[in-house]
Structure 1
Amino acid sequence: MRALINAFIIHLTLNILVFLKGWNAFEGKRTIRIIMIVIFGTELIIYSIGFIFYHYLPESVTQFIRVMGTSWMLFLLYCGGLWLVIDLVNAIRQKISRRPWRIRDQSRRFKIISYLVPMVIVIGIMIHGRYRFMHPVVQQVSITTHKTAEKMDSVRIAMIGDLHLGYMINRKHTKRFVDLIMAQQPDLILFVGDIIDGHIEPILQQRMDEELAHLHAPLGVFSCTGNHEYRYDAEEKISLLNNAGITILRDSAVLIDSSFYVIGREDKVMPTRKPLRKILSDQSVEMSKPVIVLNHTPDNLAEEADAGADIALYGHTHHGQAFPGNIATEMTFEVAHGYKKKGDTHVYVTSGIGLVGPQYRIGTVSEMVMLNVKFSH
């Protein structure tokens, strides 16, 4: 509840700041000011109703309010950032020319243009960002291991991260994700955690597990756990995924067709999480066979590489989801998104197919990854 209250306060503050900037820009424009009062007032009323009464509203209504509210907040954040840059540049320019600078002293034309142009730019960026979320790309990644896999020469693996199914990512999104995965006709489907976002209720209410049950592949469907699996109702969510046909590997290994191993690690939020070397030992993994490790957070790539994993797959980062988040993740993680060879280990960190919060991909992509793995002869 505290997080919701904080989000509401931020939302309200941004609305007030943007409203006041527009009010100043359109000084003397009575009709436009009335329109502003209607737009900002209506948005705040709708958002407040959703915040207070979301337990009592139809799901279709609350879904609309969620999407509208998060979209509006992102819009205000980007507009606010651009306005700040414009004001700073103008203030510096005036300072250099040794002229006094105050916002209210700017010409009406300047105030109107500097208010509206960033809005138009942000709307265009968000339209593109929405398209990128609604149309995930399929990344084709080719990998050749230095180990043989007995019966197999190669395998096509669908790798998917961070669906975040829940209140924001509903059953319609789940269906299009599943359809995209199945259209690739993979031999094996591997998730890297955060399949479910928060509470289990929206999954049950919308029966999203019925969509997940359509996932199938000749060699199986597996996943490790992510931090969001453990936010609420952890065991119930994991049980639901298992029952839907997604085998959750929790610090455990499975031998695929007597040819290679898939290891699923518990998320690092679990104090009982085992070191990878202990998992390999406890599960009697034959290191002469190829080993694929699923590990949600890419914060210690060296552990998989040092333990002798042939392929290590991660998610979690979303690659920041929306600019400047991508820059922040690049600074935080050794690999925030994409492929890297670390020693003899092939590493791939996916930006994820779903997301959290505003349904936009700005400076990043929604993706699923097709790993075309070739084994040595």
Structure 2
Amino acid sequence: LLSFVLAQVIGNNLPLPVTAIMYRVGTSWFFILIYLLILFLLLELIRVTGLFPVTRFMYRSWLGFGTLVGMLTLVLTWGYIVYLNKARVTLSLTVNKEMKAQGSLKIVAISDLHLGYGIGKKEFESWIELINKENPDIVLIAGDAIDNSVRPLYEQGIAELFKQINARYGVYASPGNHEYIAGISKSLAFLKEAGVTVLRDSVALINNAFYVAGRDDRTNATRKSVKELTDTLDKSKLLILLDHQPFQLEQAERNGI
């Protein structure tokens, strides 16, 4: 955990490979501790309810220790396999809005890329390949494209990789809380350089056929409401909302989204 803290505090002043290693080691231990806590809480629950003699099984027992390590290894391995095999979820939606000029619309929607010290150029290249295979009309990023610093993105040339995304109407994004952690001004400047249109409490009319509205992250306590964003829009057109943290979803429903 100390390596994670140091990566956060002084990482931008260290060579990129050093900070990347510290960050990955620190985050790995962080997840290990989380799962250990969950396992110990489960064991304590079993002990309290008396379902199994946990005390005799765990204390001074190589069998108990081995079982705990085995369970932890199994969970972490399964989680890593799931992470490597990104889930592709297909949603076919029919909307009661006029789409004569557009017809059908193929959207690739992604979020929480967390590009930075932990996830870098090589992995992002594989994601771009997956995105382009879909041949999307538009790509939408619902926040947290950046992890905690723009420095590794510039040093790895990530901005140029964003420009390799092929989408008829381009790439649009809304800010997430991690864009604020990395510094909102720096994050917005990087995304602009990368050719990503950031919708921060703003709306884009695409092909005169549909709207994409992007809310600022709720980190900004003074962000616009959904009503403020959509009040003056043509409600006969399709309206898509990007909002990183799914709070107050009823507001979106009330405003024709």
1:50 deviates by: 7.0
2:247: which partner in 1? 299
The equivalent of 2:165 in structure 1 is 215
User: Following superposition of structure 1 onto structure 2, how do residues 335-346 of structure 1 map, counting pairs within 5 Å?
Assistant: none
Superposed CA deviations along residues 168-201 of structure 1, whole A, max 9, x for unmatched, are 1222222222222112111111111111122221
- Rg (Cα) greater in structure: 1
Shift of 1:232: 3.6
User: Residue type of the partner of 2:250?
Assistant: A
* Counterpart position of 2:186: 236
CA change 1:108–1:225 in 2 (3 A) is closer
Q: Please give the secondary structure, in 2, of the residue aligned with 1:198.
A: coil
The reply to whether residue 308 of structure 1 matches residue 232 of structure 2 is no
The 3-state SS of whatever aligns with 2:252 is helix
Aligned counterparts of 1:274 and 1:108: Cα–Cα separation in 2: 54
Aligned to 2:92: 142
Q: 2:39 aligns with which of 55, 65, 82?
A: 82
Structure with the larger strand share: 1
**Equivalent residue for 1:185?**
135
DSSP 3-state at the match of 1:180: helix
Q: CA deviation at 1:269?
A: 2.1
Alpha-carbon distance in 1 for matches of 2:73, 2:17: 24
Corresponding residue for residue 224 of structure 1: 174
**Is residue 4–residue 27 contact of structure 2 (8 Å, CA) maintained in 1?**
no
Contact 2:212 2:241 in 1 (8 A): yes
> Residue 193 of structure 1 contacts residue 226 of structure 1 at CA under 8 Å; is this kept in 2?
yes
Instruction: Report how far residue 115 of structure 1 moved.
Output: 0.8
Which secondary structure state, in structure 2, belongs to the residue aligned with residue 242 of structure 1? helix
Distance 1:54 1:226 in 2: 22
Q: Give the superposition deviation at 1:278.
A: 2.2
CA shift digits 1:127-162 (9 cap, x unpaired):
111111122111100100011112122110000111
What is the distance in 2 between the residues matched to 1:236 and 1:124? Answer: 39
Give distance in 1, aligned partners of 2:54 and 2:58: 13
1:285 matches 2:242: no
What residue number does 2:28 align with?
71
8 A Cα contact 1:83 1:115, kept in partner:
no
Letter in 1 for 2:46: V
Alignment match, 1:351: none
2:38, 2:28 → 1: CA distance? 15
Corresponding position: 1:258 with 2:215: no
Q: Secondary structure at the match of 1:288?
A: coil
Distance 2:111 2:12 in 1: 29
Task: Give how far 1:55 is off.
Answer: 6.0
The answer to whether the 8 Å contact 1:267/1:295 transfers is yes
How many pairs are equivalent? 257
Shift of 1:92: 5.3
TM-score by length of 2: 0.86
Amino acid at match of 2:237: K
After TM superposition, give the deviation of residue 82 of structure 1 in Å: 2.7
Offset, 1:72: 3.0
1:111 aligns with 2:61: yes
In structure 2, distance between residues paired with 1:287 and 1:159: 22
| Separation in 2, partners of 1:308, 1:108 | 56
Give deviations 1:55-84, integer Å, cap 9, x for gaps: 675433432333233223423442354345
Per the alignment, in what secondary structure is the counterpart of residue 130 of structure 1?
helix
Matched, 1:125 2:82: no
CA contact (8 A) 1:224 1:294 kept: yes
1:197 aligns with 2:154: no
Residue type matched to 2:35 in 1?
A: Y
Q: Structure 1 residues 113 and 306 mapped into 2: Cα distance closer, same or farther (>3 Å)?
A: same
In the alignment, which residue of structure 2 is the partner of 1:11?
none
> Is the contact between residue 171 and residue 197 of structure 2 (CA under 8 Å) also seen in structure 1?
yes
- Displacement of 1:236 in angstroms is 2.1
Amino acid at match of 2:241: V
Gaps of 5+ in 2: none
Q: In 2 relative to 1, CA 111–156 (structure 1 residues): closer, same or farther, beyond 3 Å? A: same
Q: Is the 8 A contact 1:190 1:221 kept in 2?
A: yes
The CA RMSD over aligned residues, in Å, is: 3.0
Q: Which structure is higher in RCO with an 8 Å CA cutoff and minimum separation 6?
A: 1
Secondary structure of the residue aligned to 1:78 is helix
Paired letter, 1:196: I
Q: Which runs of 5+ in 1 are unaligned?
A: 1-6, 9-45, 310-377
- What SS does structure 1 have at the residue aligned with 2:212? strand
Deviation at 1:292, TM superposition (A): 1.0
Distance 1:151 1:87 in 2: 61
Instruction: State the SS of the aligned residue for 2:245.
Output: coil
Q: Partner letter of residue 72 of structure 1?
A: W
Q: Does the Cα contact within 8 Å between 1:215 and 1:245 map onto a contact in 2?
A: no
Confirm or deny: 8 A CA contact 1:224 1:249 kept in the other structure. yes
